[in-house]
Each structure stands twice: as C-alpha cells, then as structure tokens.
Structure 1
Amino acid sequence: MIATEHLIQEKQLQQLYADCFAYKKKQGSPFRLITLQHYKVFGGTSPDIQQIADAVEQLILSLDIIDDWQDEDLAEAAPWMKIEKAQALNIALLFLNSSMNHIIASSFQNQNAAARCMHQCLNISIEGQYLDIENAISNEEQYIIMCRKKSGSLLTLASLLGSLLATDNVPACIASYASDMGVAAQIANDMRDAVNITGKSDWRKKKRTLPILYLLHPKVEKGQLVRDYFAGTISFEELAEREEELVHIVKSSGALVYANAVRELHQNQAIAAIDSLQVNRKSKQALKEIFLQKL
C-alpha cells in the first residue's frame, strides 16, 4: 500500500487509487528507474530517494490518466478508463497531490530545488500537451518543439530530480540529453500509432504527427488518400474501411523511414551528450540502457 491511501477515507476511492497504481507498476515505466539511476550515478546514497522516485511515478501516472481521457482512447484496459471521466480526473488529482507531498515531506538538502524543478517541468509539459491538443502543427520544427515540451520535459524532470538530490553540481548536459530522448520516444510512439488506424485516436482526431506531416506534403504521391481525409473529402468511417490500404501507404511511402531518421538523430544526440558526462563508463551505459527502454 502507498502512503496516500491512508489519507483517503472513502473505501471505494482508496481501492480505485490502489488499482490504478498497481496497473501502472505492472505496465512498467522508466521514469522511476531514471530518477534512481541519476541519483546513484552522482553519488547519492540515501534510501529516501525511493520516496522521490515514488513522487515521479505518481506524477507521470496523473498525467497518463488525464492524457488518456483527453485523447479518448477508450479501448484501453486501464482502470481509469473504466470509470466516469469526472471520477478519473479526481484520481489523477490525487496522484498529482501525492507526488507533490512526497517532495515536500522529504528530508533532502536540496528539497526546495527539487520542488521547483518539478513545478517548472510540469508547467512545460502542460504547454506541450496544449500544443498537441491544439493540433496546429504544420512542420517538423513545430512538431519537435511540441515533443520537447510534452515528453522531453518529463524525462528531464526524472533525470534532474535524481541528480540535484545527489549533488550541487548538476551537469548542464542532463537536461539536453533527457529532452532529446523525450523527442525520440514521442516520435517512436507516433510511428506506432500511425499504423494503428482504429485502435488509437490519432487518425480519428487528425493528429499532425511526424509521419502524417510527411504524408500531407503535396509532393508525396502516395499521400493523396491522407490529404483527402484531412481536407474533409472523406470521413473517418470511409478511411477506416480502407484500413489495410492506408497501413500499406504509411509503410511504403517513406513516412516511417523519414520519422525514424529524425528519431535516430535525436537519440544519437542524447547518447553523445551522455558520453560527455564525467562519470565512469559503466554509469554511462546504465543511463543509456534505461532511456532506450522507452524507445
């Protein structure tokens, strides 16, 4: 049981809270490990870092719950998708509140800096989510900015929290490589969703992800079906009836090759930045492996 459950008096709410947290843990998430590994790499030894890792995990879960309902991916098996949207938002608020409490209640010397870091990164991530939902992206540059804000800021949060609680001398490159890894992870996720026509909401919502931006370019011959759909010439129902054809277009048009090239660029930039850290080779390798799990 996690500590916040003992502050919840409503038994049903307490059970929902526990079910959501258990589901998230079963799924696995690199954010907790990223926090712990950075703390270890920079010389941290206190067992209290587990409390901070819990805070990061709960913050990410709160955002996952909100994101799933905003995207309306209702086919998900997550516990928060099986209850009323309004109640799911209450659960998300509980996890968000709990994550902040973990930081405030910690005994680390840099506790205040950790709290400021969490708030700053969270604000940036919310900006990124706003841009994603606004869906006014028209080119690669705007897409990368959105990715850095939405996903890069959260990996930056996990990395910086672990580091600044272990040392006063946090290398500037940490924010850089965490942000690049976040961009790479978002692109990888969008590539998977580009071939999932009806299982996710990206196509239904006409999300302008990197593979889709490629197909929307008028010089891409195989993208006419996609351009017709985005122009409103055909409906989503008509598009879904041509799902097999559309998946073939996505795979054969060069859209995934293009997106993967951009993903690899940011991944390689991140790896180069990790290699520049003044830590031993084993520590660098451990950091790379944890980040690459998300890809």
Structure 2
Amino acid sequence: MNQDTALEMERIIRSQPYAGEFQELLLSFVAEKAKERGSWSDIVRCVHSLLEGSCPQIEGIAAAAELAVLASDIMDDLQDQDQSDKLWMQCPAAHALNGVVALMMCFTGGLGACGLPSADIAEAGRIISRSLQGQFLDIRNAAETPDEYLQLVQEKSGSVFQLMVHLGCAAAGAGGRQRELLLDLADCAGLIHQIQNDLRDITRLGQKNDVLLKRKTLPVLYLLSLSDEWDFRFFQQYYRGELDWEEFLQRTGDYEAFIEASGCQEYSLVVQGLCVDRAVELMEQVVAPPSKKEQLKEFMYGAFVRE
C-alpha cells in the first residue's frame, strides 16, 4: 500500500474519539494492512483521474475507502477463521469485532469530513449493504447453482470494486452513462478475481480451503453436479457429511483424478473468460483517454486479458 495512504488512514482514525489501547489497536490494524501489495485506493484515484476530476480531497476519500476494505477483510477472516497470522486474528475476537465497527465509522466520518454530499455517502452505504448481503449468502453456503453463485459473487466481491468506482465517480462529480459502465465493469472484475481464487483453492487440500469448509464455489458446484454420475460419489458423500475430512484425505488421489477428468477447471476458466470479454466490451464504451483506460484496466482485470 502507498505509505501516504496509510498515513491518511491513521489521521482519520486519530480524528475520531478513540484513545489509548483501542486507538493503538486500530492503528496496528492499519499497519498490518499497509504491508500488503497493491491498494484498493488506486482504483478510486484512477477513476477520479479518468473522469477528469479535480477534487482536492481525493486522498482522504481514497484512504477512507481503504478503511472500509480493512473492516471487511477483518470481518471476513473472523467468519472464515483463517489468516491466523493477521493481528486481528491474534487479539480477542470481541476486540476485533469492535474494531470492525470503529473502522466503518471512520469510513463514513472520513467521507463526511472530505465534503462528499450526503447522497453519495448514502449510496456508499447501500453498496456496502449489497456486499454484506452477498457475504451472508456465502456464509450460509446458499448457492445451489452456478447462476446463484455468480449472483452471490457479484454482490459480495463485485460490490467492493463498485465501492471504489462509486467513490471515484463521486469525487469527480460524475454520473450518467459513464458511471453505469464503470459500475458494471466493477461487477465483472469481482467475478473475474473470485473465480481465480476458486480455481486456486480447489487444488489446495493440504491447508484450510473451500473443500475443507464445504464451500460451494463455482468449480465445486460443477463437481457436485457430476460426482454421482461419474462414480466419484465420495465427493458428494463428503459434502453431505457422510465422510469426514480425514477419510476424504485418504482419497486424495481419487480427488485429483476427479479434478483432472471432470473439466471443472476448464469450465471455470470459460466462465471467467466470458467475464473478461464482457469487461473488455464495457471498457471500450467508456469515454476517456486510452492511457487512463489502460491504467484502470490493469488495476481491475488486466492480468486476465488474453493477448
């Protein structure tokens, strides 16, 4: 993360009436987040620049966006009980949960201090609520079909990209067709990245992963639709609770053969490719200098474009 962004996040936290141990806890969470490569706030700045914005408070808005993402990351890790090396997973869960609420208050307070209109702050809240809806469905493992799962991902992951786009548009005072295109592009980006995560996780049996947690991701749903017919019933049996994890691991070779024979990875890549094609189509319709569109593409989906 850009060091200036981390410093601005710290400034926003210090501007709130947090003190002592609690303030230090929040600042430690920011320091932990700052170690990560990449930055969501880059999308906020990029959209603002692409739309020829000149908001003097863009850095404060970008930092506030990072605080919202940090709160979301902490909540996600607490729900999944993974990322044990993160500071928020090493403190009492009640402290981390209090931190999530505090960071979201910093987010809204930070936006207000930057002078964003109340309607734009309200819309940011609506987008976050959409993400929470998707997160809840994900926790419940509610998706039973690929279409349901893709809708869930748009709500959960696409909304994070949408929040960055919305804040960049709001800072630039932009709306209309340009904003609609960029929000649709954000949903595509969420799908592209989540499918990539799903593909990576489907083969990682040696550590905490989607299969261990019986998550119904895109490749898993595809496997579940086949296993009864393909004489790989052990996979369905595990998801129904008829096999425990240790019994499942004894069939690792069968599982790897199932993955290879099923075409689940190829299927997921096709779906991802369609999302990439849609993202390219949407980007072509955005009216902006090619160099700025190229920069936004790199932040959102550039690594997945087939040359």
Q: Which residue of 2 aligns with 1:94?
A: 102
Residue 246 (structure 2) pairs with residue 214 (structure 1): no
Change (3 A) 1:167 1:7: closer
Match of 1:40 among 36, 42, 49: 49
Instruction: Please state how far the C-alpha of 1:231 moved relative to its aligned partner.
Output: 2.4
Identity %: 27
Cα distance in 2 for residues equivalent to 1:244 and 1:41? 50
Shift in CA distance, 14/93, structure 1 to aligned 2, threshold 3 Å: same
Q: Which amino acid aligns with 2:166?
A: L
Structure 1 counterpart of 2:185, one-letter code: Y
Amino acid at match of 1:156: Q
Kindly report the root-mean-square deviation, in angstroms, between the aligned alpha carbons of the 2 structures. 2.1
Change (3 A) 1:222 1:32: farther
Tell me, yes or no, if structure 1 residue 161 matches structure 2 residue 160: no
Moved over 4 A (4+): none
Shift of 1:17: 1.4
Cα distance change, pair 187–55 in 1 and its aligned pair in 2 (3 A): same
Aligned AA for 1:101? G
Matched, 1:235 2:241: no
1:185 aligns to what? 193
CA distance in 2, matches of 1:69, 1:205: 14
Partner of 2:4: none
Which residue is 2:212 aligned to? Answer: 204
Q: Secondary structure at the match of 1:92?
A: helix
Superposed displacement of residue 198, structure 1: 4.4
Provide structure 1 residue ranges, at least 5 long, that are not aligned to the other structure. Answer: none
Bigger Cα displacement from structure 2, 233-242 vs 187-196: 233-242
1:135 paired residue number: 141
Shift of 1:247: 4.3
Candidates 57, 61, 70, aligned match of 1:52: 61
Does 2:82 match 1:77?
no
Q: Provide the TM-score with structure 2 as the length reference.
A: 0.88
Identify unmatched segments of 5+ residues in structure 2: 1-6
Count of residues paired in the alignment: 292
Preserved contact between residue 148 and residue 182 of structure 1 (Cα < 8 Å): yes
C-alpha deviation, 1:53, in angstroms:
0.6
After superposition, the C-alpha distances for 1:24-69 in whole angstroms (9 at most, x for unaligned) are 1211344211111000111112331011111111101101101111
Q: Determine which of 257, 260, 271 is the counterpart of 2:269.
A: 260
SS of residue matched to 2:208:
coil
**Worse-matched range after superposition: 88-97 or 59-68:** 88-97
CA distance in 1: counterparts of 2:14 and 2:275, whole angstroms: 39
Q: Which amino acid aligns with 2:148?
A: Q
Which TM-score applies when normalising by structure 1? 0.91
> Cα deviations across residues 166-194 of structure 1 (Å, max 9, x unaligned)?
13334121111111111111111111121
Shift in alpha-carbon separation, 1:21–1:246, aligned structure 2, 3 A: farther
Partner in structure 1 of residue 182 of structure 2: 174
